[in-house]
Structure 1
Amino acid sequence: MKKFLLFICLQFIISGLSAQQRNLSGKIIDSATQVPINGVTVIIKPNNRTDITDETGRFFFKNIAGNTKVLTVSAVGYQKKTYQLDDFKNGQTISLAQRQTQLSDVVITADNRNPYKAISETDIKLRGVSNSQEVLRIVPGLFIGQHQGGGKAEQIFLRGFDNDHGTDINMSVDGMPINMVSQAHGQGYADSHFIIPETIESTTYQKGMYNAEKGDLAVTGFVNFNTANAISSNMVKVEAGQFNTYRLMGMVNLLGEKAKANNQSWYAATEYRYSDSYFDNPQHFKRFNFFTKYHGKLNNNNWLTLSTSTLYSTWKASGQIPESAVNDGTVGFYGAIDPNEGGITSRTNFNAQLLTTLPNHDIIKNQLYYSRYKFDLHTNFTFFLVDAINGDEIRQQEARNLYGYNGSYQHEGYIGNTKVNTEAGISARLDMTTNSELSNTVNNFTVIKPFKLGDITELGAGAFINETFRFSPKFSLNAGLRFDQFYYKYNNKLASDSTLNGAGVYSANNNIISPKLNFYYQATDKTQFYLFLGKGFHSNDTRVVVAEKGLQTLPAAYGADLGTVFKPAKNLLFNAALWYSYLQKEYVYAGDGGTVDFSGRTQRIGFDFSGRYQPVTSLYFDADVNYAHGRSLDDPKGENYIPLAPVWSSTGGITYILKDGFNGSLRYRWLGDRAANEDYTLKAEGYLINDLILNYTKRKYEVGLTVNNLFNVKWKETQFETVTRLKGQSAVDGIAFTPGTKFAALLHLSCFF
């Protein structure tokens, strides 16, 4: 009898504990589009436990305490919602309505593994993206420069690196790579002009080499542009401005309200742009883009996303001009020595993504993508230095097929009370080019002397695992490991190629292991500290790797970030980091000369600071200040500067937001002076430029004015040390530059329906 009574008492105790502790889950969707919202912060009180929704919009709490009374849902750009738990049904779907973005919606939590998340969300929604160049400038501290016409990929600068056109920054859109490896003009060449700015819903970026999911080229960081899965209204936009600049853009839903109710969305967008630009010689720049995307729920466990896009662009370019020729009056500041430069480029993409949720809520993602890419570029950097009769014009061209796959598995579990998130994935991309060419030409197409001609096949495969441990509401740790393997083959069709031993097929392979370790500590509900440690890399051009038989051609990069996200008031946000990076020696393929150059070890140290302030709902201030001190470690002091590496830079602005009436922004970007060569005997001059946007917005239409270079500053957008020779003159070693835009005003009219 005593044993029976003891058993009954134990059952009551266990039942009481079970009643006090239970699990809680739910799903969050956008009320306008019915699409699940990723990255929403969910807080339960008074214990202040947090969770962040996954890509299916789901959140989950295990063993919530019996005294838990309130659930709060907060997301940037959405109305906050609060529920009494007594009124909340477990597994309930929460619908959030969009509203004007406010810094007060930002929540500091150790659950957030990306310290740039809050800034990226607020910036793109408050500042917007007005053109294709602003797509890149949305990243704090990232500067771009165009030096061969509007159709060429921009030169990118970030964290003391001259990334060339993408060598040390990993760029993608909807998970599909933008960078082209072993490209005719340069390694990692990233031309993002096939993205229509109005289709971008958000950006995901992180500086440094600390994310195991990102492999090749992710040294200074990565940027992924996320296009909208659904649009809430249709629009047509017409732009017209100085220098014969015109643009027509349209974006329309292809399915009705019934399809939206069934979680189906399909829209299309297109644009055409023409401009003669601000140079003395008309650029005749033309660009056509088309994009369409379907996003739909196949069943309770599967979401399918399909998209396709195409780009076609042609242009003429004034190119770089010697500073000495401007100084002696040979050519004007906006003139050209060889106005015959220019190019043609095209890219067509197909992207398919399948997101599958298992019965235990684990997530499997599969992605297949394909790109058909053509590139034909004509430039002349040295004029008559090598060939005093015909000139030094070069042609770089290729035709490419790119095939790729990304797959990942995500699991959320617990070890005791420690929350553990596991993510593992594999990826592969196969690049196959036909007739990758570098030739000395006349009149763009007549070949005088070929330097490179061959077919490139490059296969890169990678695997990674990420483990994130939430030991307490204040402390989290992320450990990641990545392995990448590369196979290279080059079919050399040019027996006279000086870097190889005759015509024929050359092959090589290499691999690298990249560990990552990241710590997150939430000191208070207003302050998070983080320490990131990691190893990254960038691959080199196939033509380098096969020439060197794979030796030292996959250099490692090591980095560390110590930073904080600090929100001292509900309308004030700071992000600051001290960082360090070290690069091993490497071989670099010079696409403009077809040669292999050796580069030694480099070291950089710096800091990034970002501030955001919203004193009232309609006013938003932002400022970024960046510093980098970089030096070569294998050269004597005074001769160890890293050419063109940014030192001081800053961007910022003030934005006035009113969705029904006047709104606009006044912005600045400042880049300080920096060394143009190793001993700093040549200087790349800095600049300070201001841009202005003014709009009058109503529910059905918007009228706006965009002004670039508001105060008409004469500035040099890109600068290089270049040995040049004009016809009949002596060679000169000095700065060659491309001028930045003059004052340029552009009007637009948008209609929404």
Structure 2
Amino acid sequence: MGVERVASCGPVGFVRGDVPLSPREPVRMSLLIPPLRPAAFVLLVSSPCPALAESQASADLAELSVSAAPFVTNASAGYPGGAGGIGGAEAFGALTAPIQASSAGVVTGAAINNRPVTRPGEVLEAVPGLIVTQHSGEGKANQYFLRGFNLDHGTDIAIQVDGMPVNMRTHGHGQGYADLSFLIPELVGAVEFHKGPYFVRDGDFASAGSVRIDYLDQVERNLALTSIGSFGYRRALAIASAPLGHGTLLVAGEAQAYDGPWDVPDRLRKINGVVRYSQGTTLDGFSATGMAYAGRWNATNQIPARAVAEGIIGRFGTVDPTDGGDASRLSLSGRWSASDSGGVTRANAYVIRSTLNLFNNFTYFLDNPVDGDQFHQRDRRIVTGGELARIFKGELFGLPMENEVGIQARFDDIRVGLFNTASRARIGTVRDDRVQEGSAALYLDNRVRWTEWLRTSIGVRADGYDARVVSDNPLNSGTARDGLVSPKLGLVLGPWADTEVFVNYGEGFHSNDARGATITVDPGNPLFPLDRVALLVRSVGSEVGVRTRAIEGLLSTVTLFQLDFDSENLFVGDAGTTEPSRPSRRFGVEWTNHYALTPWLSLDADLTLTNARFSDVDPAGNRIPSAPTFIAAAGLTLGEGTGWFGSLRLRHFGPRPLIEDNSARSRATTLVNARLGYNFDNGISVQLDALNLLGARASQIDYFYPSRLRGEPAEGIADRHFHPVEPRAVRLTIAGRF
């Protein structure tokens, strides 16, 4: 039947087939998702495992806990399993709930590693409608765009890696700062994504969407690779796993260097390591993981368009050659799960130590015509937290039902500061703060399958926050507390003719910087009073979606969505951070398609159209700066097993308003990346990636704000500032599996 299993024992594996699964296959479908006709899709299943085979109760729990319908995978459907890249995943952790919205889904690790990318964070562009870009040095957190949001570095997209939050609240550079520089794509087992505030497990920063990245417990064969490429790109990676005691030890190490095309080279230098010990399965087992990352770099930030037009600098030049930074991240995390006849219990805990030093100059000589406007943003913190949850298997009037109850907690101990600098030498202090911020959440979710064509989810989430700020100016010290209760509702109708209809409503939130919730005076001018902002800001979203497989091999989804915010988080160019702004409303449509032409060739395409506006009345205008109206992507992936493999991807990032009255707009950016490679029978693989294949002269990102070059008027000049797309580049990778 053409079924391929890539994990011999574990809670889940990847299955690809063109005919219905044989009843003799040890696969457990979810009770809450009726099985439909498979058609060359990537499917999540519980793989054969002695522990499960010995326990019917465990098998029943797998039935409840693994979303195994053809519609479970949105972005991953149709990808040839394991083809198209040197990386790729063999197995990953089970989902804890069936797919409840048309805009939710799972991307396999193999699909993630099929994509030729410039930087690690770009692998998340496998999530339909998500743009990942950069406006500074390669060691800095990426810029994210989704559903009409300029999410800056993570204001409204919640990202987790292996159960640990990546977003940092009350951060030195911007609220929700989510740095994925420590991500090793070849270790990714799966990416689970949600869009909209409809999911009880998603809390802070998750209103536009959430992304949960799971790492592998083991690799089928050890991996060693080396890459070289244009502009001084060099990378080495090794991943190995082996039995140890009753479990498995996995070790991975990475080193990377990159200069980029910039007149002042990035000189990125980073090292990365992962050590993981695991036993059992996702339903009955545990793992303990340590991670370490360190990086340093120079930065070419966005530059004024007038400086390039006048020949003062080139497209890859800089106004302040001393910008840059360094970062580090150390973490220890653990997960545990156990199943019994009544359900599944899971728990995870983590401790993270992170540091960041950023030196940026966005306005040049506007505020300080002598020394310049460079500033140092410092952030040092220890984050601790965890989650404990129980899924209860039950019945309601004889109908299959799940009840999920969970608690989450997090505590950030933060030292955060903002300083004026010249060539990275401190010349003044704007503010220096110690912040302690804690939060706790309780969530409940009830999921019932009422008939063969109707299932519902009704949930509620309650969040409480408490923050204490000790500032160098006592007038800005204080405490802030806030809480929200967020209902979540979901309805799934069908299938009829291999088609399902999803209806969702939910309320969510993002937190604001705790310093803004206790501030009373301007740090730069103690005589100038400032208003405090709410610690938590509510969002309200809804969507209706249709997902169909009526055409053989094609998975197509159309979703209409709306999201309202009480207060928008916007990037402020002259401050280099995000600040609360006006209320907003977004509505739009997403269309996602994945077509498996053959077992070795697939096509995908998606587009998002969004109307984003401030919802109040203001003479300045109602456009939301940097909010994308149109995002589209398309790709072709080929290859299976040994032999040739390849990928061709197009990504279109439409024009955006840069100020509220829409008088200044960015240009569109269209990029094409390509990959061609060969897998030999002996485990050696060779691949060549071509990035920006067509040599587009475009922008990674654009802003509009006033800045001042030497000799310009004291009030500066309002101008478009852009970070250019890197020119055409090639990267050669040679890898061996053993």
Normalising by structure 2, what TM-score? 0.86
Match of 2:307, SS?
helix
Q: Does structure 1 residue 617 correspond to structure 2 residue 599?
A: yes
Q: Which amino acid aligns with 1:231?
A: V
**Per-residue Cα deviation, 1:542-571 (whole angstroms, up to 9, x for no partner):** 101122797633221111110011112331
Mark the runs of 5 or more structure 2 residues left unpaired by the alignment.
63-75, 82-96, 521-530
Residue identity opposite 1:349 in structure 2: S
Specify the structure having the higher radius of gyration (Cα).
1
Query: Against the structure 1 CA distance between its residues 61 and 439, is the aligned structure 2 distance closer, same or farther, given a 3 Å change threshold?
Result: closer
1:457 aligns with 2:457: no
The alignment status of 1:243 with 2:224, answered yes or no, reads no
Change (3 A) 1:204 1:129: farther
Letter in 2 for 1:461: A
**For 2:6 and 2:648, how far apart are their aligned partners in 1?**
32
Counterparts in 2 of 1:91 and 1:461: CA distance versus 1, 3 Å: closer
Structure 2 residue aligned with 1:706: 689
- Select the residue among 132, 135, 144 that pairs with 2:132: 144
Contact 2:696 2:727 in 1 (8 A): yes
Counterpart residue number, 2:141: 153
Measured after TM superposition, the shift of residue 361 of structure 1 is: 3.9
- Deviation string, structure 1 residues 149-186 (Cα, Å, up to 9, x no partner): 00000111100011110010111012210101111000
Structure 1 residues 638 and 31: CA distance shift in structure 2, 3 A: closer
**CA RMSD, aligned part only?**
3.6
Alignment of 1:535-574 (within 5 A): 535-547=507-519, 552-574=534-556
Look up the equivalent residue of 1:34 and give its one-letter code: C
Report the secondary structure of 1:568's partner residue. Answer: coil
Partner of 2:420: 440
1:194-273 matched pairs, under 5 angstroms: 194-255=182-243, 264-273=247-256
Question: Cα distance 1:193–1:579, how it changes in 2: closer, same or farther (>3 A)?
Answer: same
Partners of 2:40 and 2:410 in 1: how far apart?
A: 38
Give the 3 Å change call, closer, same or farther, for CA 427–301 of structure 1 in structure 2.
closer
Report whether the alignment pairs 1:115 with 2:87: no
CA distance in 1, matches of 2:620, 2:576: 29
Partners of 1:620 and 1:716 lie apart in 2 by 30
Look up the equivalent residue of 2:430 and give its one-letter code: F
Q: Structure 1 residues 401 and 313, CA, compared in 2 at 3 Å: closer, same or farther?
A: same
Change (3 A) 1:104 1:640: closer
* Contact in 2 for aligned 1:102/1:617 (Cα 8 Å): no
Alpha carbons of 1:581 and 1:91: their partners in 2 closer, same or farther (altered >3 Å)?
closer
Q: Give the 3-state SS of the residue equivalent to 1:607 in structure 2.
A: strand
Q: What amino acid is aligned across from residue 100 of structure 2 in structure 1?
A: R
The corresponding residue for 1:7 is none
Which sections of structure 1, spanning at least 5 residues, go unmatched? Answer: 1-27, 96-100
Looking at structure 2, the residues matched to 177 and 685 of structure 1 have their Cα atoms a distance apart, in angstroms, of 34
Deviation of the 1:442 alpha carbon? 1.0
- Mark the CA change 1:81 to 1:318 in structure 2 (over 3 Å): closer, same or farther: closer
Q: 2:490 is matched by which residue type in structure 1? A: N
- Choose from 458, 481, 501 the match for 2:475: 501
Contact 1:202–1:225, Cα closer than 8 Å, also in 2: yes
- Note the alpha carbon deviations across 1:12-45, whole angstroms, 9 max, x for none: xxxxxxxxxxxxxxxx996634111179899x99
Match of 1:724 among 701, 707, 713: 707
Q: Does residue 1:371 correspond to 2:352, yes or no? A: yes
Please state whether the residue corresponding to 1:538 is helix, strand or coil: strand
Query: Could you say if the C-alpha distance between residues 656 and 301 of structure 1 is closer, same or farther in structure 2, counting changes exceeding 3 Å?
Result: closer
Residue identity matched to 2:102:
P
Do residues 36 (structure 1) and 11 (structure 2) align?
yes
Q: Find the residue that maps to 2:155 and give its secondary structure.
A: coil
1:395 aligned to 2:395?
no
Q: What is the DSSP-based 3-state SS (H/G/I as helix, E as strand, rest coil) of the residue aligned with 1:135?
A: helix
**The one of 472, 495, 504 aligned to 2:451:** 472
Q: CA deviation at 1:684?
A: 1.2
Name the CA distance, whole Å, in 2 between partners of 1:338 and 1:602: 35
What is the rounded CA distance, in whole Å, between the counterparts of 1:239 and 1:216 in structure 2? 37
1:521 aligns with 2:493: yes
Report which structure shows greater RCO (CA 8 Å, sep ≥6): 2
Is 1:317 the counterpart of 2:317? The answer is no
Q: Retained in 2: the 8 A contact 1:540–1:554?
A: yes
Quick check: 2:79–2:602 contact (8 Å CA) kept in 1? no
Distance of 1:385 and 1:301 partners within structure 2: 58
CA contact (8 A) 2:116 2:674 kept: no
Output the CA distance in 2 between the equivalents of 1:368 and 1:160: 33
Q: Deviation string for 1:401-448 (max 9, x for gaps)?
A: 0001111010111123311110010011100112x111110121x222
Identical-residue share of aligned pairs (%): 26
Matched, 1:307 2:289: yes
Q: Counterpart of 1:603?
A: 585
Q: Give distance in 1, aligned partners of 2:723 and 2:223.
A: 35
| Within-5 A mapping of 1:54-69 | none
Map 1:158-173 → 2, pairs under 5 A: 158-173=146-161
Return closer, same or farther for 1:689/1:45 CA change in 2, 3 Å cut-off: closer
Q: What is the letter of the counterpart of residue 330 of structure 1?
A: I
TM normalised by structure 1 equals 0.84
- How many angstroms does 1:604 deviate by? 0.8
Q: Which residue of 2 aligns with 1:488?
A: 467
Instruction: Name the SS for the 1:120 alignment partner.
Output: strand
3-state DSSP class of the match of 2:697? coil
1:127 counterpart residue number: 114
Residue 630 of structure 2: which of 645, 648, 651 is its match?
648
> Judging changes above 3 Å, is the alpha-carbon distance between structure 1 residues 138 and 587 closer, same or farther for their aligned structure 2 residues?
closer
Check whether the contact 1:529–1:563 (CA below 8 A) recurs between aligned residues.
Answer: yes
